[in-house]
Structure 1
Amino acid sequence: MSPARPLDKIAAGLAFLLGLAAILGALGSQYIGGLVPCELCLEQRLAYYWGLPLLALILVLWNRLPLPVWYIGMAIVLAIFAWGTYMGAFHAGVEWGFWPGPTACTGLGEEFSLDALNDLKPVIGCDVVQFRFLGISLAGYNALISLAIVVLLFASIAFQYRRNRH
């Protein structure tokens, strides 16, 4: 029988898998589904582009990292995804009209084409919802997924602290 995996590594691994599924879903919706990401959509992806490689490195080096380095690395990943949660919630609020979005991408209408200017691709306004499921937009789902990742990372840190306290 193999030894039980510590809960800290399981929680961190689940956070990584959830994040990987989310960014692959976002890229799939763009390149396969044809959805055009707005400025805020692209900015929300930064949490995955920065956080997932760092979390993958921590997972690979799990038992080889000095504990203080592990805590600092996990805290950085947690902070990155906390920022991602904020960005997703902010974008969802822009979509619902709770507050204005960046002037560069709000109020453009359903699709604003700059084809006359150097044949650029269509620009989608940050306040335009291209897809909803159960009344929640992709930005809303990103906020929820990023929050779940934050909770899993916090749990991982708490499990590690509890295990090493004794």
Structure 2
Amino acid sequence: MIAALVSTRLRTALVILGVAVATIGGAWIIEAMGFAPCELCLKQRIPYYAGIPLAAFAAIALQRGGEGAARIALALLGLLFAAGTALAFYHSGVELKLFPGPSECSGAMRKAGSFGDFRSSLDKMKVVSCDRPALRIFALTLSNWNILISAGLAGLALRAWRGPRAGA
């Protein structure tokens, strides 16, 4: 029973690791194809950047008998990807004009009030709009896909975390 439980948690950690790596890899490939990410897109990557090493840690801990540390890592992964789900939901709402987006990347561009403002805005000339999706895949925007992926990863992690403890 204990070996099966650890094995299930290990498989879950490895699935989370694989899906997170594939998701970030896909985002980088799409970016390399010329689709520049907006500010909210970049923020949605943060749970993946934190989640990849955390999932790897959980897998290694389980292989070395550190079930307690792995369970903590799985709980953190669940919370991390739940936050990612919320951020992706917010971004999807911005795209649908249900929520106001950040002023840096939504709505009309502001006019420069002075030459100094104009010069500082030159650094931001490549601002990508958060409220206009650049790409749809099977009718869903990338933030829509991220809702599904992040929610799935959060659910997997929390289910593995909540499972019975070894020896119980």
Give the unaligned 5+ runs of structure 2: 110-117
Structure 1 residue 120: Cα displacement:
4.8
Using the TM superposition, name which of 140-149 and 60-69 deviates more.
Answer: 60-69
State the match for 2:73 in structure 1: 73
- Distance in 2 between residues matched to 1:165 and 1:20, nearest whole Å: 32
**C-alpha deviations, 1:84-118, integer Å up to 9, x for none?**
11111110111011111112211148xxxx89954
Using the TM superposition, name which of 49-58 and 137-146 deviates more.
Answer: 49-58
Higher helix share: 2
State the match for 1:22 in structure 2: 23
State the match for 1:145 in structure 2: 149
TM-score (norm 2): 0.82
CA contact 1:108–1:125 (8 Å) conserved in 2: no
Structure 1 residue 51: Cα displacement:
1.1
State the match for 1:125 in structure 2: 129
- Distance in 1 between residues matched to 2:72 and 2:120, nearest whole Å: 49
Greater Rg over alpha carbons, structure: 2
CA contact 1:8–1:155 (8 Å) conserved in 2: no
State the match for 1:58 in structure 2: 58
CA contact 1:8–1:156 (8 Å) conserved in 2: yes
Identity %: 31
CA contact 1:115–1:121 (8 Å) conserved in 2: no
Task: Give the aligned CA root-mean-square deviation in angstroms.
Answer: 2.4
| Residues 1:36 and 1:56: Cα distance change in structure 2 (over 3 Å) | same
Count residues with an aligned counterpart: 157
| Residues 1:45 and 1:51: Cα distance change in structure 2 (over 3 Å) | same
State the match for 1:43 in structure 2: 43
CA contact 2:74–2:161 (8 Å) conserved in 1: yes
Give the residue type in structure 2 aligned to 1:10: R
Using the TM superposition, name which of 34-43 and 115-124 deviates more.
Answer: 115-124
| Residues 1:101 and 1:63: Cα distance change in structure 2 (over 3 Å) | same
Structure 1 residue 133: Cα displacement:
2.1
TM-score (norm 1): 0.83
Give the residue type in structure 2 aligned to 1:68: G
